[in-house]
Structure 1
Amino acid sequence: MAKDKLNIAFFGSSIVSAYWNGAATYYRGIVKALHKMGHEVTFYEPDILERQEHRDIDDPEWCHVIVYQEDKLSLRGLLRKAQEESDVIIKASGVGAFDEFLEEEVAKMKSRDNLIIFWDVDAPATLDRIEKDENDPFRKLIPQYDFILTYGGGQPVIDAYNNNGAQKCIPVYNALDTDTHYPVDAEKRFEGTLAFLGNRLPDREARVEEFFLNPAGDLPDHKFLLGGSGWGDKPMPDNVDYVGHVYTKDHNAFNCTPMAVLNISRDSMARYGFSPATRVFEAAGAGACIITDYWKGIATFFEPGEEIIVVKSGEEVKNVLSELTLEEAEKIGKAAYKKVLEKHTYEHRAELLESVISRKLHNQSEDV
């Protein structure tokens, strides 16, 4: 019989720092919800990319954090520790150090008494990579994992992983962490008509130009707010205020203050669809009026026109902002806030995760 309490080892990018790490909010929400259910999680993360110098949080009470150096010998010891102590061992994509090594070593850890999981926090990128390279080492490992979990992608991603031999692929979508993201008072430094928060990435930049910078240039009487790392040398209109990296503690004010906030998908996410970014749920949890670029599956999460505004071009963004009133924005934000509390919290996601893990462990024990 499967244990009621699970010991879970999680190898990911970082749970204590969101610096160049968009998955931090996702990890925190999932792990915190699992802790509330009575499970114990140890999160293993590498000391890279100055993340420890840009922490958003101290080591939390809901998770044991182990920070390791880029040292394969030490990492082998941590893997042995995880195998000895854990019912479930998770390797997330995009750790940033020894990814191929971790993927192969975790796959070797499978036993009758545990589950091994690959958790893909950027499935479109992973799938595009292995489709382009038939010799990609991860391709042969996919069938060895009990589960492939993804934070988005819907049926297109499920089908793609199944076609590559996955035993079971299950989307565990982004959601709202109600302890961290919620409505707060507006702050003057974040005032404006439209705000966008996202790091500068190659497969996002053109869409930021189309949906954010071009409309800003066409609406010189409106103030636009850009947050995120890497945009410092990007040419932008004079009415765009670039505020740099926005720490997690300031996300609520960033979302609550402007009339609307913009979600812009990366190219690969938009192509696969069913991939709402973490920031969508953060903004909804703050009661923000969200304007999003179009991607297939939006209505799975929010009702277009009622709970979210959907646009297909920069011209549509400009038209929406020219006509949107503060009262209308507030109404849409309140509707999104209601929906996210009802259906899209990390407690909802953790319940799904607990269910599939417990069922699989139970079936394994029955087969022994």
Structure 2
Amino acid sequence: MKIAFYGSSLLSSYWNGAATYYRGMLSELAKRGYDITFYEPDAFDRQRHKDIEPPEWCKVVVYPATETALQTVIAKAAEADVVVKASGVGVFDDELLEGVMAVARPHAIKIFWDVDAPATLSELRGDASLPMHRVLPSLDMVLTYGGGPPVINAYEGFGARVCRPIYNALDPSTHHPVPAQTRFEGDLNFLANRLPDRESRVERFFLEPAARLPERRFLIGGNGWDDKAMPANVRRIGHVGTADHNAFNCSPLAVLNVARDSMADVGFSPATRVFEAAGAGACLITDAWEGIELFLNPDEEVLVARDGQDVAEHVAALTPERARAIGEAARQRILSEHTYARRAAEVDVLLKHEAAAKRERSLA
């Protein structure tokens, strides 16, 4: 089957946390025989910060962020067996959603793939005029990269025929143990872009522990932190490309995951960073959120913190030996249960089932 996938960016992770998810998921679907074209706009300076070149397993079409180019790429949806509009493209989101679903062929499977369901659902609750309200009942399914029962119930309450979480996962060929690098050494490393609905939690779970442990070394990577006031023992390194994520995770004593406010409220929303860190064998400390035990066992495969004091206590008590044991246990759990190969198998079943159902309906 041919898939036309309209997303933010496959080639660049610059201000684009979904890149790892797209790469892991689509590369595994390609191994299952899907012919994939990914359409991404030339926007937000991402093409100047590419992490990868167009891969063999997917054709990538980069289009100018103009009305004319938009209509050209929308028309391509008519050639696909599966049409996917992802959330958070960043330019022409509404026009893409309505456009590609309108031109999709009758037999095509129409999907909205939400990589930030809490944000999308908040918008739907707040604005009854959004195109999504009109389009949603005509879609064959909504897929999300997290959210669990609250997100499923909310989407189906808005009229979605089917909503299924396809969680973040690990691509072992991309994220794996590597030798430590001096430039990333520290006691606690944290990697995330600065976003309004994460900042207060970063202050609680990262900056507060740094202030509590002035003798320890803290490292923060990601965009937007340059002008943020931080304790003297915090070192900033800016954007970290995906090629450096393994070293970033393998070099410190531990790494930290901090969910955005909306993801923490909904729960069941492990970030890509969780699987990247576990895949590298890093000792992960995460803020507490509902559903973590579905992915990693607290105290054995991950350390869970309710607040900044918990983070500080974890760091202060952690020995290199225990950190290695936790990291290795996490790596084995993720490799056995949470790879993109497994996630792609879930999607493959959904697509084949829907394709068969459409064929039956057309013959009825």
Shared fold, TM over 0.5 = yes
Question: In the alignment, which of 94, 99, 111 is matched to residue 117 of structure 1?
Answer: 111
Contact kept? 1:109, 1:116, Cα under 8 Å? no
Residue 361 of structure 1: aligned partner: 355
Q: Does 1:290 align with 2:290?
A: no
Shift in Å at residue 106 of structure 1?
2.3
Q: 2:61 aligns with which of 66, 82, 91?
A: 66
TM-score by length of 2: 0.98
| Counterpart for residue 74 of structure 2 | 79
**What percentage of residue pairs aligned between the two structures are identical?**
55
Deviation for aligned residue 1:82? 2.5
* 1:203 maps to 2:204: no
Conservation of the 8 A alpha-carbon contact between 2:77 and 2:103: no
Deviation of 1:24 after TM superposition, in Å, equals 0.3
Matched, 1:14 2:15: no
Q: 2:126 corresponds to which residue?
A: 132
Distance of 1:83 and 1:30 partners within structure 2: 23
Q: Deviations over 1:199-225 (max 9, x none)?
A: 000000000000000110110110001
Give the superposition deviation at 1:71. Answer: 1.6
Contact 2:287/2:305 (8 A) holds in 1? yes
**Corresponding residue for residue 184 of structure 2:** 190
Q: Which residue of 2 aligns with 1:101?
A: 95
Q: Measure, in 2, the Cα distance between the counterparts of 1:219 and 1:360.
A: 54
- 2:2 maps to a residue whose letter is N
| Distance apart, 1:20 and its partner CA | 0.3
Match of 1:305 among 299, 302, 312: 299
Once the two structures are TM-superposed, the CA of residue 81 in structure 1 deviates from its matched residue by 2.0
Q: What is the CA-CA distance between 1:110 and the residue it aligns to?
A: 4.5
Tell me the residue number matched to 1:213. Answer: 207
| Matching residue's letter, 2:64 | Q
Aligned to 1:161: 155
Give the CA deviation at 1:109. Answer: 3.2
Unaligned runs of 5+ in 1: 1-5
From 136, 143, 155, the equivalent of 1:142 is 136
Residue 28, structure 1, aligned to residue 23, structure 2: yes
Runs of 4+ in 1 over 3 A off after TM superposition: 109-112
Among 245, 257, 273, the alignment partner of 2:251 is 257
Residue 327 of structure 1, CA deviation: 0.7
Distance 1:185 1:270 in 2: 32
Query: SS state of the match for residue 119, structure 1?
Result: strand
RMSD: 0.9
| Paired letter, 1:169 | C
| Counterparts of 1:109 and 1:275, CA distance in 2 | 32
Deviation (angstroms), 1:244: 0.4
- Equivalent in the alignment of 1:48: 43
1:280 to partner: Cα distance: 0.3
Partner of 2:82: 88
- Pairing 1:235–2:229 present: yes
Q: Deviations over 1:255-283 (max 9, x none)?
A: 00101000000000000000000010000
Matching residue's letter, 2:125: E
Q: What whole-Å deviation, never above 9, does each CA across 1:14-55 have from its counterpart, x for those lacking one?
A: 000000000000000001001111211100000001100000
The equivalent residue for 1:348 is 342
Moved more, 112-121 or 251-260: 112-121
Corresponding position of 2:32: 37
Deviation, structure 1 residue 112: 3.3
Shift of 1:367: 1.8
The CA distance in 2 between the partners of 1:362 and 1:110, in whole Å, is: 17
Cα distance in 2 between the residues matched to 1:155 and 1:289? 28
TM-score normalised per structure 1: 0.97
User: 1:149 Cα shift?
Assistant: 0.5
